[in-house]
């Protein structure tokens, strides 16, 4: 399988919450975002999110994400230890605002928490074991998210 596909994690919690928000909006309570120009704000978030995700994925092609031999500390990884997750959550927010769907916006919180506790913390432990003090130095300089 080409490295692009192995280095492009599918954000299952974000996808589930976006779909859940669409279903809740259609079949239960139509909860709209009550902000003027929310569609424009949403499209802005979507554009920024897509750029972050593209930047993170293109930078990550230098290493195998599943079995890294070196820390990825350049590109967006110089600003955030988890730029793809930042991008996916920003994308979910953007979609929610663009569609004026408050469900999707609010469901970003459980998506984020799921990713944080089930992915990020686990990945950090793996990186600590693999890279030791090198990862510790990187983690002390670069924020986990933003």
Residue 20 structure tokens: 């859940």
Cβ–Cβ < 8 Å for 11, 88: yes
Q: Torsion angle, CA of 91/100/24/146, rounded to 10 degrees?
A: 30
Cβ–Cβ < 8 Å for 93, 11: no
Q: Check residue 62 and give its pLDDT.
A: 78
Q: Is residue 127 part of a domain?
A: yes
Q: Is residue 135 part of a domain?
A: yes
Specify the number of domains making up the chain.
Answer: 1
Q: Is residue 32 part of a domain?
A: no
Q: Check residue 3 and give its pLDDT.
A: 45
Backbone φ, ψ for residue 7 (5° rounding): -95, 10
Cβ–Cβ < 8 Å for 76, 4: no
51 alpha-carbon distance from chain centroid: 12
Question: Which structural domain, as residue segments, surrounds residue 61?
Answer: 37-141
Q: Check residue 27 and give its pLDDT.
A: 85
- Written as tens digits, the pLDDT of the chain (146 aa) is 444 455 567 789 999 999 999 999 998 878 787 777 889 999 999 999 999 999 999 998 877 777 778 898 999 999 999 999 999 999 999 999 999 999 999 999 999 999 999 999 999 999 999 999 999 999 999 999 98
Q: Is residue 109 part of a domain?
A: yes
């Amino acid at each position: 399988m080409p490295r692009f596909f192995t280095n492009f994690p599918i954000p299952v919690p974000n996808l589930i919450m976006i779909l859940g928000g669409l279903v809740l909006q259609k079949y239960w309570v139509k909860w709209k975002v009550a902000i003027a120009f929310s569609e424009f704000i949403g499209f802005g978030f979507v554009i920024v999110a897509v750029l972050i995700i593209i930047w993170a994925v293109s930078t990550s092609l230098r290493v195998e994400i599943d079995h890294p031999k070196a820390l990825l500390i350049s590109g967006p990884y110089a600003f955030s230890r988890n730029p793809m997750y930042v991008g996916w959550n920003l994308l979910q927010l953007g979609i929610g605002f663009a569609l004026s769907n408050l469900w999707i916006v609010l469901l970003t919180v459980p998506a984020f928490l799921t990713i944080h506790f089930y992915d990020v913390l686990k990945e950090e432990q793996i990186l600590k074991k693999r890279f030791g003090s090198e990862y510790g130095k990187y983690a002390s300089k670069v924020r986990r998210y933003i």
